[in-house]
Amino acid sequence: MASCVIRRGLLSTLNKYSKTHTLSVTLFTADPNSRHEVNRCRLQCPTRGVFNVLQQRFMSSRPEGKVLETVGVFEAPKQHGKYETGQLFLHSVFGYRGIVLFPWHARLYDRDITPQASHSKPEPPGAHGSKEVKGKTHTYYQVLIDTRDCPHISQRSQTEAVTFLANHDDSRALYAIPGLDYVSHEDILPYNSTDQVPIQHELFERFLMFDPSKVPPFVPRDTLRAWQEKNHPWLELSDVHRETTENIRVTVIPFYMGMREAQNSHVYWWRYCIRLENLGNEVVQLRERHWRIFSLSGTLETVRGRGVVGREPVLSKEQPAFQYSSHVSLQAPSGHMWGSYRLERPNGTFFDVRIPPFSLESKKDDTPSGFLPGPFTSLA
């Protein structure tokens, strides 16, 4: 199982030590009769003693009995540069084990700060506020999630969030690749392992091969390169939008999916991934969503509803984040979206959290070029 560690405490500890220190990760499963599991991450340093970081998290399922499992050896997180294909990691927020496939260089538009950069995003029509947002380059990674950890994160993060449009002649609308995710550079807690197959995922051995002469010792196969090239337009992460309201940070990543013809008109599709994160100490629960969707054709649609993707997640200090994906279609090649979430405090009062405005932009090539290789899950 993944080590569910808090980045604030663990990263500060890891950054203090050089590569000569041994950072070993052990995972401990608590009393099987308990509805909580305690994971212990033990950091061993020859000159500084032993540090323990403990965090409780709810598990939807787990093996019976106590389990003691060595995952690997932590490495110092990279403050500069990027991680290479084959880098093993723990996700600092959701705690799952994963492996890096390849990086994406995105533009991060953070409305909480004003970085000195030449790129800027104007407010969409009708959006409130007039703050100019300047972007900076930020690295994200396409990763595989260890399938053993999927049951433990499914209530906090969708494990089938990366979707594709089916081919024109396919009666099913969408396909998903289970266990595929996008991870920000600062959410990577790198480690190494002597296991030749340290990640369990159906695509692991199709995409990567073990090469002990390399660092990291997992190198891309031709299959991974071909898959990345064929699906680049639908996988590419280009813009990231972020804004914080009353200690609730909302991050939005839009993806163009392609165009389809329906009833003699063109319909353009996008998916968007959203992460809500509670940066404070107060427990809150998401109750409602309110979207405004503007199309280049001149239409403005308002969407209201309970929760998101059928859930009303609780954000607490122990479980601070929730991540999900959804889809939108327009009969125009571009548009804008913005809105808000309504959250409830323990005392029954409500407050609104702003969803940062973002653009929906199409691309020239609107025909998916194939999904090599599987597995896939049909969503329609």
For 295-320, the pLDDT digits (tens) are: 998 999 999 999 999 999 999 999 99
C-alpha distances out from residue 67 to 62, 95, 150, 237, 286, Å: 10, 17, 18, 38, 34
What value, to the nearest 5°, has the Cα angle with vertex 158 and ends 74 and 370?
Answer: 95
Burial bucket for residue 157 (CB in 10 Å: 0-12, 13-18, 19+):
buried
Torsion angle of C-alpha atoms 120, 107, 366, 334, degrees rounded to 10? -30
The domain spans of the chain are 73-112+134-361
Nearest to 190 by CA among 335, 353, 11: 11
Are the CB atoms for 12 and 78 separated by under 8 Å? no
C-alpha distances out from residue 328 to 277, 291, 295, Å: 23, 11, 11
Distance CA 364, CA 140 (A): 24
Which tokens in the block code for residue 232? 């680049």
Residue 78, pLDDT score: 94
Greater confidence (171 vs 44) lies with 171
- What does the DSSP assignment read for 33-69? TSSEEEEEEEEEETTTEEEEEEEEEE-S---SS--EE
**HSE-CB of 86 using CA atoms within 13 angstroms:** 20
Which tokens in the block code for residue 203? 């695509």
67: which residues sit within 8 A by CB, 6+ positions away? Answer: 1, 27, 28, 29
Q: Can you say how many angstroms the Cα of residue 296 is from the centroid of all Cα atoms in its chain?
A: 29
Confidence of residue 67 (pLDDT cuts 50, 70, 90): low
| Partners of 373 in the β-ladder | none
Q: What is the mean pLDDT of the chain?
A: 79
Nearest to 124 by CA among 254, 260, 231, 21: 254
- What does the DSSP assignment read for 309-367? TTB--EE-SSS-EEEEEEEEEESSSEEEEEEEEEEE-TTS-EEEEEEEEEEEE--S--S
Are the CB atoms for 267 and 236 separated by under 8 Å? no
Confidence of residue 361 (pLDDT cuts 50, 70, 90): very high
Across the range 318-344, mean pLDDT stands at 95
**What topology is assigned to 73-112+134-361 in CATH?**
Immunoglobulin-like (2.60.40)
Which tokens in the block code for residue 84? 């290479």
Residue 282's H or E segment, with its range, is none
Are the CB atoms for 259 and 362 separated by under 8 Å? yes
pTM surpassing 0.85? no
Question: What are 218-243's pLDDT values in tens digits?
Answer: 999 999 999 999 888 888 888 999 99
Distance CA 329, CA 339 (A): 17
Question: What are 280-296's pLDDT values in tens digits?
Answer: 999 999 999 999 999 99
Across the range 269-278, mean pLDDT stands at 95
| pLDDT at 116 exceeding the cut of 80 | no
Greater confidence (375 vs 287) lies with 287
